[in-house]
Amino acid sequence: MGVLINKDTKAIVQGITGKQATFHTKQMVAYGTQIVAGVTPGKAGQFVEAEGKNGEAVKIPVFNTVAEAKEATGANASVIYVPAKFAADSILEAIDAELDVVVCITEHIPVEDMVKVRRYLEGKKTHLIGPNCPGLLTTDEAKLGIIPGYIHKKGHVGIISRSGTLTYEATFQLSNAGIGQTTAVGIGGDPVKGTDFIDALKLFKDDPDTLAVMLIGEIGGNAEEDAAQWIKENMPDKPVAAFISGRQAPPGKRMGHAGAIISGGKGTAADKIKALNAVGIEVAETVAQIGATMVDTLKKHGIYDKCHTC
């Protein structure tokens, strides 16, 4: 089943006529995603051609606005490939169109812009993933974003990650270990974003196909500590394994993401690992041990046989 997107999701690509957007649109269509429309102001009437999962030709119409695209196609999701200075407005446009899911790939969006977006989201129906994220992928059903599909294997483990590349690494290791996935959710590494760990954990808690969760965190902020406490109080029946990147980061040093910075003696890898261990969550010592740590967790909780698919 998975969370947020599936084979029935109908998606719009905002900024579809850009080089990167066109490339990834073709990848999403080839994976089996229903990309039903694109949006680029001033380009209405054009088409983007792609090849579907079974080799069929797919012709995607371009509209001037998200509202027009939704009305014409019945779309319920969007993925945004728009330059940073226009991205916040693109997110707001998708929220106003009342789409269920909006994924924003764009990085370097000003924090002030995202503060306004986050406030505007309050009380709205839209789930925003990102910005500065790799997107979503529900195995063998649909993907929105830039996550490579070939590394995924159908199964029962959900993945939540602040890091794009570590999303791929975790997935690859799990698949190689015979542990399939329901949905991978790349929440992004910016300090202000639409979906955090707890938001994603709630979705996986309610998904009957997801039997366990892999949580990939990093230094900076207190999201992992908050997630650990939430798991203890709300999700005792679904085991979680984790990895925290940035163990060697010096205080005050930004490591890759805008949110990955240690300050005031808080947000260290040690703090996060301690909080996770305190509620019974095993944390991989190194990147190379992510898959093995998940396998160990599944065995300890007696569900390895249910999750091992080969």
Among residues 108, 257, 301, 308, the one annotated as catalytic is: 257
CA-atom Rg of the chain in angstroms: 19
Rounded to whole angstroms, the Cα distance separating 251 from 236 reads 34
Q: Do 146 and 31 form a contact (C-beta atoms < 8 A)?
A: no
Catalytic site includes residue 257: yes
| 180: nearest Cα among 131, 141, 126 | 141
Catalytic residues: 257
